[in-house]
Amino acid sequence: MHALVRELYPICRSITGDGVRQTLARLQQDIPLQVHEVPSGTPAFDWTVPREWNIRDAYVKDSRGQRVIDFRRHNLHVVSYSVPVRARMSLAELRPHLHSLPDQPDLIPYRTSYYRESWGFCLPHRQLEGMAEDDYEVCIDTTLEPGHLTYGECVLPGSESSEVLLSCHTCHPSLCNDNLSGIAVATFLARHLAGVPHRHTYRFVFIPGTIGSITWLSRNEEQAKAIRHGLVLTCLGDSGNFTYKRSRRGDAPIDAAVRHVLRHSRGEHALLDFSPYGYDERQYCSPGFDLPVGCLMRSHYGQFPQYHTSADDPGFVTPGQLADSLATVLSVVQVLEHDLAYVNLNPKCEPQLGKRGLYGAMGGTSIRDLEMAMLWVLNQSDGRHGLLDIAERAGLPFERIHEAARLLLQHDLLAPAAAAPSRAQH
């Protein structure tokens, strides 16, 4: 995953353009990704697919011909979606188009101008303060013209039509935690699921932020009705503790599943209520759709100093944190896959587990937990409680409850309930 982050890091992505295509083409080497092109001008609810933006070069040269700001050194140097510019101007004329961070004087900020025609450069504040009065040559070699919005979709059919949506944004240029970590985790999760049987259908979408999810929803209103669970994946590579932002519903099964997994993980974590600001969860959770989609991250977007700056580089994300994030999402997937309701086939008093060899069925220190898990599963399996309900009530990890149910099924003490579990009563 970290190698993928490093490989994608130099590519200049935006909400449209060849950088997005290049990124998706790389992901197609790992997963069965279908690429969609939506023409500029296409209506998407209250929005319109914008013109396509591409960049070849950009710089500011001083009177000696030296590039004092150079897109080729770092693609954050150019405000994304800058219109073409070729001009000579004084520092006073150039100054309103230069963006920096006085509080972080050695970092390049990330700035965009998607929906208002403008142009600009970003640079460290320390460099800006050192710029001399001079006659500067300014060049932004870009195109902004009718084209397409590009997004990728990977659908892994399951044995059931119910869908799990995994969404990440592809619109940021050289930013690793906020962008590439989500892409890497989603890609490796899809690669894993493509090789194993699964109950749900998993739909991965790699989309530009905001306009991408709006466009996808506008083209998939009927398909969206099949989504039973969903996660937006972002900021998953840094050393911060996990943060989960609940869906608009607040008590959807995905909210319960993520809460359970994080509660039984080793680290501290934060659970946040939904708010209509953030990433694409706010589009999936808009009232016209109200999909059960939360947002999983480590450090909260906008609340770590490297956010939207050149410090969000490959050194800021680590292989270990990416691996831990993937393992956590996989744990959530396991809950979603196995959270079923069962019926106790021997409901009148406790069945004798000893004669079936179920006491001491597993060696080591986990025997007591497993035996207690079997008792909980037998007691609560009345067709109304799913395994996650039981795990929550028992205070045991879901995987222990699932293992107990598997053993009881093998010994004909349980049978699947006719209906899926419902939390409406809790």
**353 has a pLDDT exceeding 90:** no
Q: Map out the domains of the chain with their CATH numbers.
A: 2-50+148-338 (3.40.630.10), 54-145 (3.50.30.90), 341-416 (1.10.10.10)
pLDDT range class, residue 425, cuts 50, 70, 90: very low
* Residue 338, H or E segment: helix 319-338
Task: Please tell me the predicted confidence (pLDDT) of residue 369.
Answer: 84
| Cα 253 from Cα 251, distance rounded (Å) | 7
pLDDT range class, residue 420, cuts 50, 70, 90: very low
**24 has a pLDDT exceeding 60:** yes
Looking at 130-285, list the stretches that DSSP marks H as alpha helix, in order from N- to C-terminal side: 181-193, 211-219, 221-224, 253-263, 281-284
pLDDT, greater one: 89 or 358: 89
For residue range 106-150, list pLDDT tens digits in order: 999 999 999 999 999 999 999 999 999 999 999 999 999 999 999
For residue range 219-230, list pLDDT tens digits in order: 999 999 999 999
Three-state SS at 408: helix
pLDDT range class, residue 422, cuts 50, 70, 90: very low
- Nearest alpha-carbon partner for 12 in 147, 184, 141: 141
For residue range 33-80, list pLDDT tens digits in order: 999 999 999 999 999 999 999 999 999 999 999 999 999 999 999 999
Instruction: Show the tokens assigned to 365.
Output: 């220190």
Strand partners, 49: none
Q: Which residues contact 324 (CB under 8 A, 6 or more apart)?
A: none
Residue type, 239: S
Task: Please tell me the predicted confidence (pLDDT) of residue 131.
Answer: 96
| Cα 232 from Cα 256, distance rounded (Å) | 16
Using a pLDDT cut of 90, give the percent of the chain over it: 92
**209 has a pLDDT exceeding 80:** yes
Instruction: Show the tokens assigned to 90.
Output: 């004084």
DSSP code per residue over 251-304: SSHHHHHHHHHHHTSSS-EEEE---S-SSTHHHHTSTTT---EEEEESSPTTSS
Cα distance from N-terminal residue to C-terminal residue, the chain: 39
Binding-site positions for Zn(2+) read 172, 178, 308
For residue range 365-394, list pLDDT tens digits in order: 445 788 899 999 999 999 999 999 999 999
| Mean pLDDT (whole number) for 166-192 | 97
**423 has a pLDDT exceeding 70:** no
Binding-site positions read 172, 178, 308
- Helices 181-193 and 319-338 sit at what angle, rounded to 10 degrees? 50
Instruction: Show the tokens assigned to 247.
Output: 């869906």
- Nearest alpha-carbon partner for 187 in 216, 152, 162, 213: 152
Residue type, 419: A
For residue range 302-318, list pLDDT tens digits in order: 999 999 999 999 999 99
Half-sphere exposure of 22 (CA within 13 A, CB side): 14
**170 has a pLDDT exceeding 90:** yes
| Mean pLDDT (whole number) for 141-160 | 97
**357 has a pLDDT exceeding 90:** no
Three-state SS at 151: strand
**364 has a pLDDT exceeding 60:** no
| Cα 289 from Cα 280, distance rounded (Å) | 13
